[in-house]
Amino acid sequence: MVRLTTEPIDYHALTEQVRRPDCGAVVTFLGTVRDLTDGRVTVALDYEAYPGMAEKMMAEIEQETRARWPVGEMVLVHRLGHMEVGEVSVAVAVSCPHRAQAFEACRHAIDRLKELVPIWKKENWADGSTEWVHPGA
Amino acid sequence: MNLTVRLFARAKDLAGADRLTVDLADGATVADLRRALAAACPALAGLLERSAFAVNGDFADDALSLPLRAEVALLPPVSGG
């Protein structure tokens, strides 16, 4: 299951959602708003997406992850809009029969999400300036 | 053909709009679109060089011929997560 939301991510509920009797391992990754980037202080981030394509790419990532690991259930959720330091911007929850598979599948999904999904963040620095983040400049 | 391109993130700020419309020859490619956008909005030129395009929701190579009435978006390097 994949989803974009503007509401806070209920990661406890997402973790419960992927639990199954045949899966002995559940891994949940949370991406949270960090207060420091390359020595500069962040107070908040704003996220925007290209909505239709972002969800489509997230669904493809779920499919490719399921093709490589014996995933029971998985959920990818990205939050959009304004988030303060410490808030959860993204969550990936995966269940598998065994822990190595669950760790690998979760790692793969978040890495691919960061590489492919058309979502962008804007830094709100402590000095009041803002800056879109476009890696590779 | 007139083609409207959706803009996001810094591209939207640089253009001062969330869409730009350019006039292209029928059969024009994504590479032609990239050049036309740089000409229409020189402020975008630097970011355009390292941005991708999506055509109807899929990543598109520079060689792709743009279909009529496609939904096209300029995708600067992504930074979700």
- Please report, for the domain that includes residue B9, its CATH number: 3.10.20.30
- Of the candidates A46, A11, A96, A107, which has an alpha carbon nearest to the alpha carbon of residue B12? A46
Choose, out of A4, A30, A34, A53, the residue to mutate when testing the contact with B (most B CBs < 10 Å). A53
Report the pLDDT value the prediction gives residue A137, as an integer from 0 to 100.
58
Tell me the mean pLDDT in the region A84-104: 98
pLDDT over 80 (residue B61): yes
Report the pLDDT value the prediction gives residue B2, as an integer from 0 to 100.
93
Report the pLDDT value the prediction gives residue A114, as an integer from 0 to 100.
98
A137 assigned to some structural domain:
no
Domain containing A106 — which CATH number?
3.90.1170.40
Percent of chain A with pLDDT over 70: 99
Total domains, chain B: 1
Mean of pLDDT over chain A:
97
Token pair recorded at residue B3: 């083609």
- Shortest Cα–Cα distance, B35 to chain A (Å): 20
Residue A85 region, left (φ>0) first, then alpha (ψ -120 to 50), else beta?
beta
Which residues from B are below 8 Å from A135, CB to CB? Answer: 77-79
B2-49 pLDDT, tens digit per residue, is 999 999 999 999 999 999 999 999 999 999 999 999 999 999 999 999
CA distances from B33 to B11, B28, B43, B58 (A): 15, 7, 15, 16
A132 assigned to some structural domain:
no
B81 assigned to some structural domain:
no
| Cβ pair A113:B73 closer than 8 A | no
A136 assigned to some structural domain:
no
B15 assigned to some structural domain:
yes
B80 assigned to some structural domain:
no
Which residues from B are below 8 Å from A50, CB to CB? Answer: 6, 8, 54, 73, 75
Report the pLDDT value the prediction gives residue B69, as an integer from 0 to 100.
87
Total domains, chain A: 1
Which chain B residue is nearest to residue A112, measuring alpha carbons?
B81
Report the pLDDT value the prediction gives residue A53, as an integer from 0 to 100.
97
Q: Are A93 and A15 in contact (CB under 8 A)?
A: yes
Which residues from A are below 8 Å from B6, CB to CB? Answer: 50
A119 assigned to some structural domain:
yes
A133 assigned to some structural domain:
no
Q: Please tell me whether residue A1 adopts helix, strand or coil conformation.
A: coil
Q: What is the ipTM of this complex?
A: 0.95
**Containing domain of residue B28, as a range?**
2-75
Choose, out of B7, B8, B74, B79, the residue to mutate when testing the contact with A (most A CBs < 10 Å). B79
A50 assigned to some structural domain:
yes
A112-134 pLDDT, tens digit per residue, is 999 999 999 999 999 999 999 99
Strand order in the sheet with B58-60: B19-23, B2-6, B72-75, B52-55, B58-60
Q: Whole-angstrom Cα distance, residue B79 to residue B81?
A: 7
User: Looking up tokens 């591209």, which residue turns up?
Assistant: B11
HEC secondary structure over A72-84:
CCEEEEEECEEEE
| Cβ pair B73:A50 closer than 8 A | yes
B59 assigned to some structural domain:
yes
A80 assigned to some structural domain:
yes
**Containing domain of residue A84, as a range?**
2-127
A1-60 pLDDT, tens digit per residue, is 999 999 999 999 999 999 999 999 999 999 999 999 989 999 999 999 999 999 999 999
B19 assigned to some structural domain:
yes
B70 assigned to some structural domain:
yes
